[in-house]
Amino acid sequence: MIITDQIVEKHGLSKEEFKNIKKLLKRDPNLLELGVFSAMWNEHCSYKSSRLHLKNLPTKGKQVIQGPGENAGVIDIGDDDAIVFKIESHNHPSYIEPYQGAATGVGGILRDVFTMGARPIALLNSIHFGSPKHSKTKSLLNGVVSGIGGYGNCIGIPTVAGETKFNETYNENILVNAMAVGHAKKDKIFYSKAKGLNKSVVYVGSKTGRDGIHGASMASAEFDENSESKKPTVQVGDPFTEKLLMEACLELMKDNSIISIQDMGAAGLTSSSVEMASKGGLGIELELDKVPCREENMSPYEMMLSESQERMLIILEDGKEQNAKKIFDKWDLDFVVIGKTTNTNNLTLKYENQIVGEIPVEALASKAPIYDRKWIKKKTKKNSFNFKKLKKIKIEDALIKILSSPNHSSKNWITDQYDQSVMCDTVLKSGSDAAIIRIHNKDKAIAVSVDSSANYCKSHPITGGKQIVCENWRNLITVGAKPLAITNCLNFGNPENQEIMGEFAECLQGIKEACEFLNYPVVSGNVSFYNGTNKKNIYPTPVIGGVGLIKKLSKPLSHHFKKDKSSLILIGKTFGHLDQSCFLKENYSINEGLPPEVNLLNEKNNGESLLKLINKNLILSSHDISNGGLITALSEMSISSGIGAKILKPKKLTNLIEYFFGEDQARYIVEVEDNSIGKVEKILKENNIFFENIGFTQNEFLEIEGELKISTKDLFKINNEWYNKY
């Protein structure tokens, strides 16, 4: 078959890239080889536009066992315990086919975790949809939520935290990011690096079908009006089979059989075999006749590019094949030796006793393109409106508008569809700043949270990048956890657009600065480019997933008010920053200006000081202040507990709207018993922390002295009515 320019283009390769392929091969590729190059050289697999920037992120720390480059990151939490975690995107598939796209996103991230030898203990997600008024939003929302719940519930792993946001920027390109967290023993971590010659390469799991072919390539291109035609590229998941696969793999991992293991995710058999070989500096020979297929007459091209789910590739020690097969037979899964490791440094593909493809492994991996794309620094604009000229609004009316909006209303109608308690170790569920998961049979726990802030990143990418790391860090702090490490999912538009690439570069700069200052390394992640349709790109949306450690789980700390007549302290200084705020967005449809400044010194000092207070059992409840400002945070604490609060008027800041709705960073509300006030204030003063005594809790009503009085029952009703009307 002659490879034409049209065929090259259909494979997502440029003319220049095709020239490089011919140079590396010293000949023209056949169609199978072109398909393999297409799979490995696309943006999704090669990170060709992002690698140069990702190298700058801090990835090391005392607690880091494995950073980026493996299936998932691994951190040390003491007592020979390790936490394995990662977040990935499944954006394009979920827009095309919401249920299966979201479901297989969950399945894929779970395999990344148990491939490392960890039993998954928690799932999280960050999902972004277009305007609720958009014609597609409702069906996409229902499909995605059902897919996430359907897969997680069936496999029996709790979905414990997440976020759901709406913005017209996602009208034609939704975001579905899935995160998985697992627990393993430090000395039982498994890696994908191939070792040894003539070792058996084993295919395990489900059979290969024609679903998902070119899925990774599809995820590396913009949508257009023909996006519906890409449905065949979406994988189809089976959580029950994945459960069997997980148990079989974890059982096999109990002995010393496995040399390396890699799940067949994006680019399927191609990426798994190439990644194992390239990391080990070896070759791999595959006999494609032996690949278990669920459809007749599948070609080598289809086998290599299929992204059928619930499959693994394993390299075994000599003589371990029979015992391993018994395990997989017991779990009713395919187990077939389909190849061997070689010293050729080639990916050699055989079919019907003939070599049908042969490619140097380094040509697919280390010699994949790396682009230093041109980018433009973001031109930032100060606010173009005069706040004093805006129509005056009462605090109560503004608060009601925020609490009843799609973005800030209760998401119980989503989280109630997820099993949050299966496995019986979920201590604090969705709706809190972070979820808490107990380490099974131990008196310690981890806290997990996912966060994003696209409007901040759009208006000032560096500040937005810093802010979202800090917000995630604060969310772990408020539940009493020491933040240890993050994973990130970087969702952006077309990197060939210099402005988009500038947003990416500057967001990463902000993430880097915050992570370095807070000693909060990046141990895994994913980049998702080309999120857009017909040249309309999404807002830059980096999502941060954080993990923290609670060494002694005496009683979980939450943001729920605990009792009547306890004191409320505001930690951190309030300046009244309203630009890019929820107040302006929800009440005036204004989305202008710069985000609030991020002072990393204050973030670290305020957060670490609060953690000291929590560890000394001086805090009843705590909540970070973010979107919607102080009054929104107080409302959330009241709604979740049924206990209200009486807030005194501020003595210095006279503009009450700015005081109560400003989104200044590095701030927390803490609830303190009266007999602990002296101790709390002493520690805060010793650490040079700005704080204010702002009031006290009370029964039934949230009240601002002389300005607002609303019952907690009404707050609950207001906060829960949006979806019922939708």
List active site positions. Answer: 44, 90
263/113 Cα distance (integer angstroms):
10
3-class SS of residue 31: helix
207/36 Cα distance (integer angstroms):
20
Residue pair 115/312 in contact (Cβ under 8 Å)? The answer is: yes
Task: Collect all residues with Cβ–Cβ distance below 8 Å to 441 and sequence separation of at least 6.
Answer: none
Name the residue among 221, 88, 109, 212 with its Cα closest to residue 157.
109
Residue pair 686/625 in contact (Cβ under 8 Å)? The answer is: no
Task: Collect all residues with Cβ–Cβ distance below 8 Å to 136 and sequence separation of at least 6.
Answer: 130, 171
- 715: tokens are 């707050």
Buried b (16+ CB within 10 A) or exposed e, 363-384: bbbeebeeeebebeebeeeeee
- Strand pairing category for 200-205 and 334-342: antiparallel
Query: Helices (H) and strands (E) in the chain — how many of each?
Result: 26, 28
Residue pair 567/672 in contact (Cβ under 8 Å)? The answer is: yes
- Strand pairing category for 643-647 and 541-550: unpaired
Q: What one-character DSSP code corresponds to residue 208?
A: B
- Could you give the C-alpha distances from 627 to 58, 168, 542, 572, 672, in angstroms and in order? 27, 18, 17, 15, 23
Give the CA angle between residues 269, 270, 274 to the nearest 5°.
Answer: 115
Residue pair 99/562 in contact (Cβ under 8 Å)? The answer is: no
687/685 Cα distance (integer angstroms):
5
Handedness of CA 225, 229, 231, 232 (dihedral sign): negative
Q: Is 677 left (phi over 0), alpha (psi -120 to 50) or beta?
A: alpha
